[in-house]
Structure formats: structure tokens, C-alpha cells
Chain A
Amino acid sequence: MPDPTRSPDPTRSPDPTRSPDPNRLPGPWPTLTAQVRYQLLLLGRNPNTLVAGVLLPVLLLSLTGTHGGRVAAAALAGRVVLGVTLIAYLTHTVGLVAAREAGVLKRWRATPLPRWAYLAGRLCATVAMALASGAVTVGVGMVAYHARVGPGAALGLVVALGLGALAWAGVGTAVSAFIPSAPAAQPLLSLSYFPVMLLSGVLGTAGGVPGWLTGPMGWLPGRPTIDAVTHALAATGAAPSVPVHDLAVLAAWAAGALLASVHLFRWTPAAA
């Protein structure tokens, strides 16, 4: 039991005015890589990642019509984009809201972790996991459904899926600021996700879509992601062409959403 009459011993008490050398704080690169590893651990152990990113797209691929046992590039692109965007938008954002409302982010806020490192770590891990999901679905499409994937497809796929995942994850991060509680996250996000993706043709051409909607769909991040992936899958490698419009739309969404995310992101629960 401490002696209640003791006064602090200056020889063992730290000088409260002393600041540690700021250079001794971990630098940006180790901080970022540690955050990416941490977020990958969380995503890898989240069953939603496997279900939404791999099982659901592969299941839907198995239910897709084929021509001579071969799945069409557009259909494969739709299933790939479904898995990628489910991870980038729904899994990422639901997890972010849950962490914030449970106080996990509040705890991070008390550490020397910079805000940019948390956001960048989370987004990088989400994009990496989304790319892995896309690779699995493309692989299953090639092996099990004889999908034709051109020799020059890899780079185009990485760019299209990476940019699409970043755009969707950025939008999710920004939107998370307006979600008031963890239970509200899934329904609110589903409400904003499924109409856009279904009207964009993620499960095939949406029949009966009003004409006034088809134009705007090209400017939301769903349709351009699918089109850019379809374009990449069909690439022959001989004369690579770039889907400029689709990638530009995705880049604009990614940049705008990231700016909004940085501005809107908050560490503490809504009630705090």
C-alpha cells in the first residue's frame, strides 16, 4: 500500500514538460504497413469477406447461363464486380461503423496513430482484399466455366477493380459519417447499394429500366466498374485500349469520396 503522505520523488518522476523527440515516433511507412496488416487480419477473419467476396459471386456464377459451357465476359465481369464491391462498400463500411460505435476508433484516437494512417490502412487493406476476391472469381470463371480472358487482361483488371474498389470504399467511408448506429449500417447501405448495382447490370442487363435512369447510371460508380472490367476481360493484348470514360468516372468518384471521407470521418460514436 502506498504511503499516502509521500510526495512525488522528483528523481523518479518524469518531467511533465519533457516531450519525446518526435523523430522517434514510428515513421509514415512502418505506421502504414502495420495498419494495412492489422486491417487485413480483421478482414481475413470477418466471415462476411468470404461470403460476400467469394462464395456469393461464385454461387451466382454457377447459376449463370453459358454458351457451349462458356460464360460470357459481361456475365463474369458482373459477378466479379459484385464480390469486389460487396467487400469494398458493404463489408468495409459496416465494419467501420461497428468499430466506431463500439468505441474501437475512440481508443485508436488516443494513440499517436495519425488519422490519415488509419484511413489509408483501412482503404489499402480493403482494396487488396477486394482484388483477391476478384482474382478468385476470375480464376473460377476461367477454370470451371471456360471464360475467355485475354492475355493482356491482368493489368486492366487490376486497374479497373482497384479503382472501382477504391471508389466504393471511399464512398462507404464518407457515408459512414451519416450512419447513426451499427444496426442501421447494413440496411442503410443495402438501400444505397443494391438498386445502383442491379440497375447497373451486375446480374445481367436490367430489363425495363426507365430510359431516364440509364444515362445517370453511367455516371455512378456501378456501371463504369462493370464496363471497365468487361473491357479488361475482353482485352486481347494485341492493341490494348483504355476505357477512358469509365476509368475517369471511377477516378473522380474515388478522389471526391476520399476528400469527403477525410473531412467527414469521426472517431467517436454518434452518441458521444
Chain B
Amino acid sequence: MSAVAVEHLSRRYGGLAALEDVSFEVAAGQVVALLGPNGAGKTTTMEILEGYQAPSGGTARVLGEDPACAGRAWRARVGLVLQSTCLDPQLTVVEALGIFAGLFPRPRPVAEVLELIDLTDEAGTRVGRLSGGQQRRVDVGLGIVGQPELLFLDEPTTGLDPAARRQAWTTIEGLTAAGTTVLLTTHYLEEAQRLADRVLVLAHGRLVADARPEQLRRRGAPTVIRVPLPPGAPIADLPPTLAAAAGPDGGRLVVRTAEVTATLDALVGWARRHQVELAGLEVGPPSLEDAYLALLEEEVPSHA
């Protein structure tokens, strides 16, 4: 049985359809990333699965139960990190974790959680005195202190610096290695690429892709050529097809093309003529971000 099973889910707010006929499953132990632009329906989907909202149509089953009417035992098996940080600023980190741990039948030791979120040194500090990134890590700690079987992460690394984000990824990878099922939303495609077994892409409330990250990257998207341009490079003399792709500051050239040989030939010819060294040239499949943006351009023309 799936950890999450969603069939023909819809949610309407008055005349506005936030979700329309969305169906997917998440197998136990999988990490699935829910992607989409703002307003695509990600948070609505998460809130229905977390039990905060009831769907207008369709069904959602989470750990075998309808989340809208599931009880305490079900909530003991689910952890979540909400989109915005919501903590009592008067409590210390260790107090907050201890109070939450006391609600679960098999809580993770607080010291272990402090280590996982890298806040051992701040254990006695009041939450209100922590930085935004540290508060976010406390949020993650509260989500995992009950040792959930299923963890909902709604933009868990928003506001974290790159080092803290990588630390959070390592923490999440540790949880998934122990068998925790994770459904996460994120705007960081690198995060989805690193963590997720599968990505679901929502646009205008509809599911427009359900694939592994590699499948999405290779899904008919063109090859990407990237090269940093040295200062003073004569970009005005770039062949028109390349000039159109140059970044706004002229510092980086990114070309998406199905004609790799011809494009590279034009680029190398331009570099030879102007004695520009193409150090750092990369040719490869599109990143998940490239593929995601290409998909949105197809599905949501205004996103282009």
C-alpha cells in the first residue's frame, strides 16, 4: 500500500480552482518533490494531505487514512514542517523540542535531534534570539522529533544559507535512509534533484509531470551549452543565435540547442576570431531547472 494515494483530487475556492483532477501515489520510503510556480496548488495539496483542508472532490489517503478525519494515532506517525516558521519565541530550543517530544510514543532523543539540526550549541538559547535560518532548523527538528513514518516538508530550506541548506539535505537523506517517506515542496531545483526519487510538477492546479528527475531532464529538452565569458569579450560580434542567449550582464552564455555541433562550431569560430579562451565550457543535458522551466513554458505560456 502507498504511503500517500491521491485520486482525482480537486479543491475550489469559490469560483477559483486551486486543484483539478490531481492523481498520484507515493510509495513508502520514497522521496517525492512537489514542484510548481507560486499559485500552482502545491500548498493546497500539502494542506489537504496534512488534514488542514478538505478536498472539494476526489480522495486523499495518507498512511491508509483520510487525513481530514484522522486521529491522534495517525498524527503520531506524521511529521511536518510548515511553509512559514511558527515557533514560540519565549522557549529555548531544548524546551521546544522536549515539549514536542513528550507528545509522541517513540520520540527521537532531543540530543540526537539537536545534532541533526546542528543546534547543539544553541540548545539553551531562546528561539526568538536565533537567526531566521536557525529558527527554520528548529522547525525541521520539531518535524522529526516524533520519528515520523511520513514527513511533509513545505519549502524546508527557504531562508537557509547554502551551508545550512546542504546540512539540511544531509539530515533529510539520513531520514530517508532510515525509511522515512518524504513529500517536499521546494523552489530550489537543485534540492529536488539531489533529494527526490520522483518529481511532480503542478501548474494551474493540474499535474503536468510525474517523473524521475532524469526522465524530466531528458524529456525532449535540448542540450545546454554554458560558458563563462571573460570581461571585455566582444559579445556584440557574437553570431545572432548566440547573442540572443547571452546573459544580461554578458558574463555568462547559456544556449539551449538541438543542433549541438553547429552551435559549438559557431561559438568556437567566434572565440578563435576574437582570441577568447572558452575556459569553463560545459556541454550537457539540461539541468532539472532547465527542464522544469521548459515544461512550464509549454504548460503556462505566461511563464516564458
Contacts and interface: CB of A to CB of B under 8 A. Distances in A.
A114 B3 contact: no
B197 A2 contact: yes
A6 interface: yes
B105 A20 contact: yes
Nearest to A23: B105
Contacts of A34: 99, 102-103
B52 A20 contact: no
**A contact residues, range:** 35 or more
Interface stretch (A105-113, A168-176, A179-187): A105-113
A254 to B, nearest CB: 27
A38 to B, nearest CB: 5
Given A24-B105, A38-B99, A13 B88 contact: no
| Most chain B beta-carbon contacts within 10 A, residue among A9, A17, A34, A111 | A111
B176 interface: yes
Given A8-B28, A13-B179, A111 B100 contact: yes
A45 interface: yes
A97 B80 CA distance: 22
Interface residues of B, number: 55
B50, B52, B86, B195, most chain A CB atoms within 10 A = B86
Interface stretch (A25-33, A63-71, A75-83): A25-33
B266 interface: no
A30 B80 CA distance: 23
Given A34-B102, A103-B82, A113-B103, A9 B75 contact: no
A106 B86 contact: yes
Given A19-B73, A25-B73, A111-B75, A42 B91 contact: yes
A112 B90 CA distance: 22
B29 A4 contact: no
Interface in A12-52: 12-17, 19-22, 24-26, 30-31, 34, 38, 41-42, 45-46
Contacts of B173: 2
Contacts of A25: 72-73, 76, 103-105
Contacts of B106: 20, 24
A26 B29 contact: no
Interface in B53-105: 63-64, 72-80, 82, 84, 86-88, 90-91, 95, 99-100, 102-105
A99 B194 CA distance: 35
A103 B84 contact: yes
Nearest to B30: A8
A236 interface: no
B73 to A, nearest CB: 5
Nearest to B126: A45
B103 A13 contact: no
A212 to B, nearest CB: 44
Interface in B196-219: 196-197, 212-214
Contacts of A7: 27
Given A2-B176, A38-B99, A16 B28 contact: yes
A41 B95 contact: yes
B16 interface: no
17 contacts: A2-B176, A5-B212, A8-B179, A9-B179, A14-B149, A14-B180, A16-B1, A16-B181, A19-B74, A25-B104, A25-B105, A31-B102, A34-B102, A38-B99, A110-B82, A111-B76, A112-B72
Interface of B: 1-3, 27-31, 50-52, 63-64, 72-80, 82, 84, 86-88, 90-91, 95, 99-100, 102-106, 142, 146, 149-150, 173, 176-181, 194-197, 212-214
Identify the 5 closest CB pairs spanning chains A and B, nearest first: A103-B86, A8-B29, A13-B29, A24-B105, A45-B90
